Chain A
Amino acid sequence: MRIAIAAALAATLCAVGAPAQAQVEVGVINSLSGNFAAFGERYRTGLQVALDEINASGGIKGQQLTLTIQDDRSEAKSALAAAESFASKGVPLVIGSYASSITGPLAQFLTRQKVPMIVLGSADDSITKPGSPWVFRAKHNSTIVGKAYFDYFDHLKTTKKDVPLETVAMLYGNGAWPTSLAKEGKRLASERGYKVVGDQSYDQGVTDFRPILNRFRGANPDILYIVSYAEDGVAITRQMREVGLNAKVIAIDTSAALPSFVQQVGKSADYVATAVSWSQDVKYPGAQELYERLKAKAGGEPSFYEAEGYLALMVAADALRRADPKSRDSVREALAATDITTPVTTVNFKSADGFQGQNPIRSLILQIQDGKHVTVFPDDLAAKQAQHPTPEWSTR
């Protein structure tokens, strides 16, 4: 950790000390302290892996690429101060941040300052819908992820016709992401003929979900659609087993995608499905090799967050190579014309369905099988078949 601080300090000092000679500087606004620091750490790992790769292969038109990372303390007002300093410093583009409560104001400000921005972590629809000509997002949003889940449910329904999937119960935190993904889920459920038999949200507390899970047990849903952050998802899974809430499909967004989920839940984690933007076993060229590099840099098991950090900087570098880094207009045009393939996903910012600057990334559905995350959907990217239906707790 001390090394990391020293490195960050050194990075800041270098960026301040050395005048812009033969290097291209990209501004990053990331949550390194405060409530979202866990995510900020992961994003930074991914950014650094991308930075090493870019500079090893000649940088930006022969010039070194440098990152200036500013901490936003997980709050909007600090992020906006950082954005103002980047805007006045003349960086060609800014990458940031994780929470939508920070990224929303950032997008508004950078649009007015005419600074191209690549979204780092926020997945809220509202960032790119209606969006702005200056804001680009290579990762997913709630519309894409919601659709991925329901495509998966439909897929299970058609492949195993003897297992009826008709009812769904939803449980989600009251944060921006869980709420918007639940809203999208409810819309899709009614559109595709699923009956919503449970709809409950919760505030951050002491992770006791027994009352809600007991309520759901009375409704006996076929599908559990759960959107929760890290520890909440772990507690929900443990308590689901405890109260004996059975379902044929259990989907837990965000929480179940983290490597620590399997460690903390143990055997009960099996059969749980989760949507991600990237996974090590996805059938994209270079995915496995990227996994090794992310793992080496992180010093632990990487997740899709690292991959998203990597993706953001790769998109930036690609645009900078095709543009004049001194002109933000030219960088913006280059970003809009992006058409690349990375080990994380393909990227193009073709606007559709009211979105602007949004990459129509394909979300993957992972299922935990024998304690490992396995890509099971969509079919052409899957490593294995989904295990379906989920057996009852009493038989496991």
Chain B
Amino acid sequence: MAGLDIFLQNIANGVLMGGVYALIGIGLTLVFGVMRTINFAHGDFVVLGMYSAVLFNALLGWDPYLSLVLAMPIGFFAGVIVERFILSRVIDAPPESALLATLGISLIIGNAILLTFGGEPRSVQVSYASSTFSIAGVNLSMVLLLAGIATVIMIAALYALLNRTEVGRAIRGTAENRLGAELVGIDTRRIHSIVFGLGVMLAVMAGVTLIPLLFATPTNTGAVFTLKAFVVTVLGGLGNVGAAIAGGILLGVVEVLGASYFMSEYREAYGLIAFLLILLFRPEGLFGRTVKRV
């Protein structure tokens, strides 16, 4: 294969991996944008979604995508409950309290899964796991392509929710200025519950969608996802969920090109370096509007 072909192939793979990262990060972008708390449990909620797909697949023989029907509402209400009974109580305490609370939640989720499912990695085997789709000499992985489509649909839906509905406007208002939102009559406590519910729902959806592609382990995987989600959030920027796609794609392309043409053992570092550079030189993110230096 000529150099250019390989390069295009790598770019395509990077963009598709970016879709995966965006999917993992989208829920966190929303929650972080509105609540400004470091949610250490985000990755664990993604893993929880993966296990729900595994469970429905094992018990009822459902295709992972079918289990979204049940997993989405459960995820939303789980998020609302966690926010109501835990996070809302610490929102006015020093910010580290919320961080700590999510750490506790993360430990509880991971270990509850460990006790229920055991420690072996799980996934759902689909017939198209190694299939590819060819365009102009570039091979696209079928599972990655499906994940990419799911990302676009989910982000489009979230975009519509935020920009076309009353609740969406309230969420954006709360994100930009909580006090101001209160003054114009928005119940920001309720908005926080809804936002966290949506965040968990998006995490669970990401987990379900990615199970044909990725693997779930009770305690390891969650931390990896959380870290990627933060990178996506910071790269893309806040205040604009579409930016999560940009952040994800940037992360995917940087990682894949780094691993393809430089040292592959530093793959996870390339994204982090990009993350630091963006934080330092363009703190509002690639497409965000909120300035992070406050």
A108 at the interface (CB under 8 A from B): no
Within 8 A of B (CB), among A205-259: 205-208, 210-212, 214-215, 217-218, 230-231, 234-235, 238-239, 241-244, 258
**Given contacts A202-B265, A212-B264, is CB(A260)–CB(B120) below 8 Å?**
yes
Interface size on A, residues (CB 8 A): 45
A33-41, A276-284, A369-377 - interface stretch: A33-41
The smallest beta-carbon distance between B284 and chain A, in angstroms, is 27
Decide if B214 touches A41 in the complex (CB within 8 Å).
no
- Check A38–B118 contact: CB distance below 8 A: yes
Does B217 reach chain A (CB closer than 8 Å)? Answer: yes
Residues A203 and B268 in contact in the complex (CB < 8 Å), given A214-B6, A218-B6: yes
Interface class of chain B by DSSP: helix
> Which of B130, B139, B225, B268: most chain A CB closer than 10 A?
B130
The reply to whether the CB of B165 lies closer than 8 angstroms to some CB of chain A is no
The A/B interface has a contact count, at CB < 8 Å, of: 113
Interface hub of B121, B131, B218, B268 (most chain A Cβ within 10 A): B121
Note all chain B residues with C-beta closer than 8 A to A264: 123, 125
A218-B1, A242-B141 are known contacts. Are A40 and B119 too (CB-CB below 8 A)? yes
Query: Which residues of chain B from 10 to 66 have any CB-CB distance to chain A below 8 Å in the complex?
Result: 10, 13, 17, 20-21, 24
CB-contact partner of B114 in A33, A217, A235, A244, under 8 A: A33
B215 at the interface (CB under 8 A from A): yes
Residue in contact with B215 in the complex, picked from A37, A201, A234, A239, CB distance below 8 Å: A234
- Contact B218 A242, beta carbon cutoff 8 Å: no
Say whether A234 contacts B123, CB under 8 Å.
yes
Pick from B9, B139, B265: contact of A203, CB below 8 A.
Answer: B265
- A203: which B residues are within 8 A, CB to CB? 265, 267-268
Distance of A263 Cα from B217 Cα, bound (Å): 16
Please indicate the chain A residues that have their CB under 8 angstroms from the CB of B265 in the complex.
Answer: 174, 200-203
Complex partner residue of A41 from B13, B119, B259, CB under 8 angstroms: B119
**Taking the complex as formed, is A204 at the interface, i.e. its CB lies under 8 A from any CB of chain B?**
yes
Any B CB within 8 A of the CB of A1: yes
Question: Once bound together, how far apart are the Cα atoms of A289 and B291, in whole Å?
Answer: 67
Distance of A183 Cα from B168 Cα, bound (Å): 55
- Once the chains bind, are B13 and A205 in contact (CB under 8 Å)? no
Q: Which positions 108-125 of chain B face chain A at CB distance < 8 Å?
A: 111, 114-116, 118-121, 123, 125
* Contact for B264 among A36, A40, A200, A265, CB less than 8 A: A200
- B132 interfacial contact with A, CB 8 Å: yes
Is residue A130 within 8 Å, beta carbon to beta carbon, of the partner chain? no
A247 to B214 Cα, complex, angstroms: 25
In the assembly, what is the distance between CA of A244 and CA of B9, in Å?
A: 13
Task: List residues of chain A with CB within 8 A of the CB of B118.
Answer: 1, 37-38, 41
Residue with the highest number of chain A CB atoms closer than 10 Å, among B1, B129, B260: B129
Do residues A231 and B217 form an inter-chain contact, with CB atoms below 8 A?
yes
Which of these, A35, A204, A268, contacts B130 with CB under 8 Å? A268
Task: Considering the complex, give the chain B residue whose CB is closest to the CB of A205.
Answer: B268
Q: Which residues of A contact B224 (CB under 8 A)?
A: 204-206
A202 with B214: CB separation less than 8 A: no
For A302-326 the 0/1 string (1 means CB < 8 A from B) is: 0000000000000000000000000
A285 at interface by CB-CB < 8 Å: no
Once A34-B219, A211-B13 are accepted as A-B contacts, the answer to whether A241 and B121 lie under 8 Å apart by CB is: no
Residue B228 is within 8 A (CB to CB) of chain A in the complex: yes
Residues B264 and A202 in contact, CB atoms below 8 Å apart: yes
Is A266's beta carbon under 8 Å from chain B? yes
Partner of A33, one of B111, B125, B130, B260: B111
Residues of B within 8 A of A215 (CB): 260, 264
Given contacts A203-B265, A210-B256, contact A37 B20 (CB under 8 A): no
What separation, in Å, do the CA atoms of A39 and B130 have in the docked complex?
28
Closest to A40 in B: B119
- With contacts A214-B9, A218-B1, A260-B120 taken as known, whether A241 is within 8 angstroms of B130 at the C-beta atoms is yes
The answer to whether A230 and B9 have CB atoms under 8 Å apart is no
Cβ of B130 and Cβ of A211 under 8 Å apart? no
Most buried by A among B1, B13, B267: B267
Complex formed: what's the CA distance from A35 to B114 in Å? Answer: 10
Partner of B259, one of A212, A230, A244, A258: A212
A38 CA / B120 CA spacing, docked (Å): 5
Closest CB in chain B relative to A203 CB, distance in Å: 5
Is the Cβ of B264 less than 8 Å from the Cβ of A201? yes
- Complex Cα distance, B223 from A34, in Å, reads 13
**Residues of B contacting A204 in the complex (Cβ-Cβ under 8 angstroms):** 220, 224, 268
Knowing A41-B118, A235-B215, A242-B130, the reply to whether A211 touches B264 (Cβ < 8 A) is yes
Q: Is the CB of A37 within 8 A of B6?
A: no
A40–B119 Cα gap in the complex (Å)? 9
Give A36's nearest chain B residue, CB to CB.
B119
Give 12 A-B pairs besides A206-B17, A212-B264 with Cβ atoms closer than 8 angstroms: A1-B118, A33-B114, A37-B119, A201-B265, A205-B267, A205-B268, A206-B225, A211-B256, A215-B264, A230-B215, A242-B139, A264-B125
User: Nearest 9 CB-CB pairs, A to B?
Assistant: A38-B119, A231-B215, A37-B119, A211-B259, A231-B121, A241-B130, A211-B260, A201-B265, A200-B264
- Which residues of B come within 8 Å of A, CB atoms? 1, 6, 9-10, 13, 17, 20-21, 24, 111, 114-116, 118-121, 123, 125, 129-132, 139, 141, 214-215, 217-220, 224-225, 228, 255-256, 259-260, 264-265, 267-268
**A to B CB contacts below 8 Å, 19 in the list:** A1-B116, A1-B118, A33-B111, A34-B219, A37-B114, A41-B119, A202-B259, A202-B264, A202-B267, A205-B268, A206-B17, A206-B224, A210-B141, A212-B259, A230-B121, A241-B130, A260-B120, A264-B123, A266-B129
